[in-house]
Amino acid sequence: MLFYSWQETAWMLVAAIVIDWWVGDPRWPTHPVIRIGQWIRWVESKLHPSGSSRDGSPASQRLRGVMLTVSTLAVAFAAIGLLLWAARTVHPWLGYAVNTWFISTTIAIKGLKDAAMKVFIPLSEGRMEEARTYTGYIVGRDTSQLGEAELTRATVETVAENTVDAVVSPLLYALVGAAPLAMLYRAANTLDSMVGYKNDKYLYFGWASARWDDVMNWIPARLTGLLLVAVAACRKGCSAVRATKAVFRFARLHPSPNSGIPESAVAGALGIELGGTNVYHGRTSERARMGWPLRERRMDDIVQTVRLLYGVSILIAGGLLCALGWTLW
């Protein structure tokens, strides 16, 4: 383990999860991910000024994309590493506090729940335009004409996919390398969300960012699938067997090597179908369908998915506490 023993790190991970349950994404001081995003935009303006696939040859754009990726990961890791080193130099307990706080900023359990409930609450009260607006904040597709079933699908897919990105991945990397490695992962994820698109602007320049995010999420995505199946086994109205079958049957159909695993697991657990037709800027896109439509999607599926999300975080925290208890015993 980097920086701390695994026992010390485990205690801090549990504390970070509790902080995120309670506080969520901090409004002050500025969230580290915002600073990472500002760095990405600044470097991009230097390396990719025209913002077009015609900005040099494909090889040149890919090389500059690699430079953006490497520099962002290095800065994120080094900055948090230096802050942690300085805090530990002052006092070991200050180091624990700084490490725990920064780990908590790399996860977003409460943030995901809050975003989902901003869709669910107006949807349950019949305020469709408000529900469409808030759904548009968390997905890239056009939401202006969506009804309850499609708004539910968009929200469930987002929460399911981000169970990897915003919970399992950062916690796994924090267990290995404390806050610096967790923040490096968060930088990789931010790079993918900002430049990892297959469009005219980022087809080549964003290639390295997209691929590196896939690499870093490969193991966590599969671990998330296992955790979702375990949580489904404990929840009334969910099926662990169906979730398992859905992962093996549908996950590979998703265009992402990782996102299909949590989405198909949730679809199978709830007995609904995810995927289907999306509209992006007037263009229709057909996504692979995952799960079996045993019933119509309904708004309560949003709440059920949030409960699966929290179940995963509880299972992780409980597992860490059990491991710590075993070593003490």
pLDDT of residue 84: 96
pLDDT score of 263 more than 90: yes
pLDDT of residue 29: 65
> Which bin fits 17, alpha (ψ -120 to 50), beta or left (φ > 0)?
alpha
Q: What is the number of H-type helices and E-type strands within the chain?
A: 12, 2
pLDDT score of 200 more than 90: no
Q: How confident is the model over 103-119, as a mean pLDDT?
A: 97
Task: List the beta bridge partners of residue 287.
Answer: 276
Dihedral angle of Cα 296, 298, 304, 308, to the nearest 10 degrees = 60
Euclidean distance between CA atoms 87 and 245, whole angstroms: 47
Q: How confident is the model over 21-36, as a mean pLDDT?
A: 83
Q: What is the pTM of this model?
A: 0.94
Euclidean distance between CA atoms 278 and 9, whole angstroms: 42
pLDDT of residue 152: 98
pLDDT of residue 189: 96
pLDDT score of 317 more than 90: yes
pLDDT score of 54 more than 80: no
